[in-house]
Amino acid sequence: MANLLSVNNLHKSFGALQATDDLKLNVETGTIHGLIGPNGAGKTTAINQLSGELFADSGTILFDGENITRWPIYKRAQFGLQRSYQITSLFPEFSVLDNVAIAIQATDGHSFRFWGKARKDKSLIDPAMAVLEQVGMDHLAHTPATDLAHGQQRQLELAMTLATKPKMLLLDEPMAGMGKSESHSMMEVLRPLKGKITILMVEHDMDVVFALADHVSVLVRGHCLVTGTPDEVRAHPDVRAAYLGEE
């Protein structure tokens, strides 16, 4: 399977701190790839460089055959590399359906007409409902976003990202702040995306990572310690000792 994303010799430092240190990472098309590691390992800095929020000091980022290392955020997003929850903030006074329709409106280049008329535009509403069905939120379509529970708001943000039709999602701790039942619901949203959208997921919940990911990379002090299947990573002695709390 071809790599959709290839990171080579990526370096980023902040003064004396080497946040990413010769980082190498390959993510295969259509897979869910987990990125784990302790606090301070450089995971967020790595995601920030992939999304374009930070530029690397050196190294290259290849995405879908293009060198995007110096591309700004908007150009990466237009090319299909989306970081979840950064398309736009939720509009709390609008319904769930309205929020997804706005994401479609922004992506497809619709003019921002008076919203009352846009609410009746089937070219916005029909695909928005299709995305809500995909994430299991169609029954909440007319619920104000402000009335959603935390986990449901995170699912709505994911729906808004999916509405932009990305090639790849960068998910930075999608389960953060969720209870067990909410995490389970999010997992059931993400699982069917495997094979349809490529996902690189940073997540502290090891049960989630090992349940969803095709491959897992362990980051330590800014570089990749090991990459393998969940079983291979779980069995690796350094990973077990340092990150999974096993002897």
What would the DSSP string read from start to end of 38-74?
A: -TTSSHHHHHHHHHTSS--SEEEEEETTEE-TT--HH
Q: CA–CA separation, 230 vs 210, rounded Å?
A: 5
Strand order in the sheet with 81-83: 81-83, 168-172, 198-202, 32-36, 215-220, 223-228
Q: Where in the chain is the domain with CATH 3.40.50.300?
A: 1-87+166-247
Q: Which CATH superfamily is domain 1-87+166-247 in?
A: P-loop containing nucleotide triphosphate hydrolases (3.40.50.300)
Average pLDDT estimate for 14-40 = 93
* Residue 234 clears pLDDT 90, i.e. is over it: no
* Residue 131 clears pLDDT 90, i.e. is over it: yes
Q: CA–CA separation, 226 vs 116, rounded Å?
A: 52
% of the chain exceeding 70 in pLDDT: 90
* Residue 179 clears pLDDT 70, i.e. is over it: yes
Quote the tokens at residue 98: 């309205």
* Residue 116 clears pLDDT 60, i.e. is over it: no
What does the mean pLDDT of the chain come to? 88
* Residue 114 clears pLDDT 50, i.e. is over it: no
The residues that bridge with 168 in the sheet, in sequence order, are: 81, 198
pLDDT at residue 221, rounded to an integer: 87
Residue 117 confidence class, pLDDT cut points 50, 70, 90: low
Buried/exposed 137-158: b ≥16 CB within 10 Å, e otherwise: beebbeeebeebeebbbbbbbb
Three-class secondary structure assignment of 125-182: HHHHHHHHHHCCCHHHCCCEHHHCCHHHHHHHHHHHHHCCCCCEEEEECCCCCCCHHH
pLDDT at residue 86, rounded to an integer: 44
User: What confidence tens digit (pLDDT) does each residue in 50-109 have?
Assistant: 999 999 999 999 999 999 999 999 999 999 999 975 444 688 889 999 999 988 887 766
Half-sphere exposure of residue 170: CA atoms within 13 angstroms, side-chain side: 23
96: amino acid identity, one letter: V
Quote the tokens at residue 116: 């009352």
Quote the tokens at residue 143: 């619920």
Cβ–Cβ under 8 Å, residues 13 and 214: no
